[in-house]
Structure 1
């Protein structure tokens, strides 16, 4: 059996429902060779998971998913193999989380104008170790009885262009790539099929993008083949993962994507070259 990897997993440090310990247990059960917890603007799960590793466990790779924007579109840049002790990266991620919290508070203000009063403390209790995101607000709305489910919260209130939606204050893609590189890491464009991100690949390679996510639940066999050929043509790397969040209908289960270990081997080679 070809060793498989999952380099795109979300935990309770962002908008996932499982703790790093629970993720590690599932990674073990799925017999994965390596994994990375790539929370939104938060690398804290790495430290918690690292403390739980035992001899013979799958490899744990540092990971993060940075929010970026271009042309009014939300894009995500994955970072791997960065120094987890980078003071600059840590301070920037903390700043991003504070911006997320401010955005969340503004969404609650807009909801109050619509007659929906969601206490900030309720949302903070749901957030835990993360920063406020729309899924946390939607969860609080369900708990408060304002909507029947999270989908209704997005469709009626906090989805794009809905009455309580507040736009993100994102990094530029170049700044996101530069930030990952500043900590010695590799930068990848996440799920390029989503939000029309594919059209930016060549431009981002010019900024120093190291690769693209090839394997993803929203990438079918035709996309995987096309993206694999593109990485060869542009002399960039590929990565892949489940984009696991744990919510029903949200991307894939841990280990669900057939991302081969060879992708990780190529990433390791480039990291050594960069050193």
Structure 2
């Protein structure tokens, strides 16, 4: 594999052309699945994972558009919650190479997507009740059939001239607090179990990203490792160098894989494709743990 260069953080792994966390218009990214794989190839990546929120709807169009020289890892980012904290803590689980037809996991993802739709429409109703000129039908149409989330509403606020960026839309005045509603998630232990049952590989996404909000204690990760968690995402835009070092040390103690990735969302975030990478030997170990679906390599 030819390495994709970036500025590595102190103590981090060498850069690699393997990005295991990206989003398309199937959830809250701004590039279609086809555009995403073409952008990845153009950036110089060798391996790309498509991990849209709670959906596999981007898999087929990404495979159909896969450029030569790029390997696609099919996955999803599952909306989870740990109910052992007070209050419960939201977290994300990256699931790689699972069988999308496994009945229980498929049903859970459908439930979460449906609840997200209801939540989005309720947020829009609250905004409109306060005189904010946003339209649910327009937001839904612009989602292009993908899973609707708050970033889609943020774009509507930008189009209305009420905020200038997605970051501003997520401040306390808007979607960060005043117009934020709770959403339904999957119990994280059940999510790990279902991903494993579907032959997938579960990796905890950005587990120490304190700038996003509350983080879970290390004791939860110890329990999740015992329940089947395979890895921790250490190198991520929202982790400080100290947080990355903490994740690496914990992974080493527990014998977990350590991944890195961009969490690319296109225009919804400033981070670029391949900004953080996963080491080739870790990637090979991850592939070896999967029995659901296989990586897809173009000719």
What TM-score do the two structures reach when normalised by structure 1?
A: 0.88
Q: Distance in 2 between matches of 1:180 and 1:91?
A: 12
Among 175, 182, 186, the residue aligned to 2:197: 182
Match of 2:264 in 1: 244
SS in 2 for 1:197: coil
Measured after TM superposition, the shift of residue 211 of structure 1 is: 1.2
Matched, 1:193 2:208: yes
Match of 2:10 in 1: none
Q: Distance in 1 between matches of 2:91 and 2:110?
A: 20
Matched, 1:68 2:80: yes
SS in 2 for 1:157: coil
Matched, 1:219 2:239: yes
Q: Distance in 2 between matches of 1:50 and 1:105?
A: 31
Q: Distance in 2 between matches of 1:45 and 1:6?
A: 16
Match of 2:33 in 1: 20
Match of 2:146 in 1: 130
Measured after TM superposition, the shift of residue 218 of structure 1 is: 2.5
Q: Distance in 2 between matches of 1:112 and 1:224?
A: 41
Q: Distance in 2 between matches of 1:17 and 1:136?
A: 10
Match of 1:263 in 2: 282
Distance 1:209 1:22, change over 3 A: same
The count of residues paired between Structure 1 and Structure 2 equals 268
What TM-score do the two structures reach when normalised by structure 2?
A: 0.81
Match of 1:203 in 2: 223
Indicate if the aligned counterparts of 1:242 and 1:251 stay in contact, CA closer than 8 A. Answer: no
Among 179, 183, 186, the residue aligned to 1:171: 186
Matched, 1:39 2:52: yes
Unaligned runs of 5+ in 1: none
Matched, 1:158 2:175: yes
Indicate if the aligned counterparts of 1:35 and 1:60 stay in contact, CA closer than 8 A. Answer: yes
Q: Distance in 1 between matches of 2:150 and 2:277?
A: 30
The structure richer in helix per residue is 1
Q: Distance in 1 between matches of 2:165 and 2:47?
A: 34
Q: Distance in 2 between matches of 1:63 and 1:33?
A: 16
Unaligned runs of 5+ in 2: 4-15, 292-299
Bigger drift between 230-239 and 57-66 goes to 230-239
* C-alpha RMSD of matched pairs (Å): 2.2
Bigger RCO (CA 8 Å, 6+ sep):
2
Match of 2:126 in 1: 110
